[in-house]
Amino acid sequence: MYKRQTYIELDKKDIDGLWKKQLKEYGKVEKDNGIFYVNIANVKNISSSPMKVISIVDKTSQGTMIWLAIDKGDTYIKKGESGYDEMKKILYDFGIMAYRNDVMEQLKKAEKAHAKALRNQERTVKTGENLSKSLTRNGEQKVKLEENLVKNGEQKVELEQNIEQNLADQKKAAEELEQMQKVVDDVKAKLHDIH
């Protein structure tokens, strides 16, 4: 049996389901001892006649290897024969789609983390605004409540410390947001680089 293979630097568990879905486009997929079979496959870009497709998805130390063989009925498609380039294209197109799916998942996760960082920053800014308003009210109360001056002064010191802490928290939240934006931009760049 002559087979063609492609290597994909993604986990086998992610590739296995995607490849089975790809094979379903050609007909009913059966799996036996880790081998995929499409006994009556319609691969129109290779032949108008039904063929048999046999494929294995193997885990490797760096990713996944997909083996593909197509039986035209009397012989398997071999290098240099009609249909060989189309068989290579099936594997190539699948690899592009798998990488694209992986990058889209990375983008989804990065955008989710970015949104969380943004919500955190908004919360800390709102807390800062509330603390500032509290400090302003405190100053007004100080003028009106001379008899509680000592207690009021302690509250003022605490609020100022809280504002100082909040400013530090705002800075940290802004840095996290900037880091998450870089992650989103990097993942988008990966998506753009896939041809």
pLDDT in tens, 146-188: 665 567 678 888 999 999 999 999 999 999 999 999 989 988 8
Instruction: Check if the beta carbon of residue 45 is closer than 8 Å to that of residue 100.
Output: no
Q: Is the pLDDT of residue 121 over 90?
A: yes
Distances (CA, A) of 71 to 20, 49, 68, 86: 18, 11, 10, 14
**Amino acid 2: pLDDT:** 59
Q: Tokens 């928290």, residue? A: 169
Residue 61's identity, in one-letter code, is: S
Q: Which amino acid belongs to residue 193? A: D
What's the start-to-end Cα distance of the chain, in Å?
31
Q: Could you give the CA distance from residue 154 to residue 189 in angstroms, rounded to a whole number?
A: 52
Question: Which tens digits make up the pLDDT trace of 35-88?
Answer: 999 999 999 888 888 999 999 999 988 899 999 999 988 888 888 888 889 999
